Amino acid sequence: MSEESGKDTGAPRKGPSGVDPRLLEILICPVSRQPLTYDRANDELVSPKARLAYPIRNGIPIMLADEARDLDETQPAGEAEA
C-alpha cells in the first residue's frame, strides 16, 4: 500500500464514536426534530429538547425512541431542573 493511499480524502473519516462526524452534523432527533449533541462519556447522541439519549452501537447511531435513554429517569437526585 502506498503512502498516498492512506491520505484518501474520499474515505469516510470516523470520530471517537466510530461514526462519521459529517453524519453527526446532519442527524436530528426523531422525536423533537431538533439537533443532537454528542456525549463522549456515554457514547450517545443527546436531544436536550426531548430529554432523550440515543445510543451508538458499533459506530451506528440507534435513532429509535424505544431504544433511547430517558434523561429525566436517569437524572441523579438533587439535580432537578429549575
CATH class of 15-70: mainly beta
Q: Spell out the long-range contacts of 20-25 with Cβ–Cβ below 8 A and sequence spacing 24 or more.
A: 23/61, 24/61
Ranges of each domain in the chain: 15-70
Strand-pair category, 69-70 with 37-39: unpaired
Per-residue pLDDT of the chain (82 residues; tens, 9 = 90+): 444 444 445 544 455 566 778 888 899 999 999 999 999 899 999 999 999 999 999 888 999 999 999 999 865 554 544 4
* Side chain identity at residue 81, one-letter code: E
Q: For the beta carbon of residue 66, count every other beta carbon within 10 angstroms.
A: 5
Q: Give φ, ψ of 37 to 5 degrees.
A: -115, 150
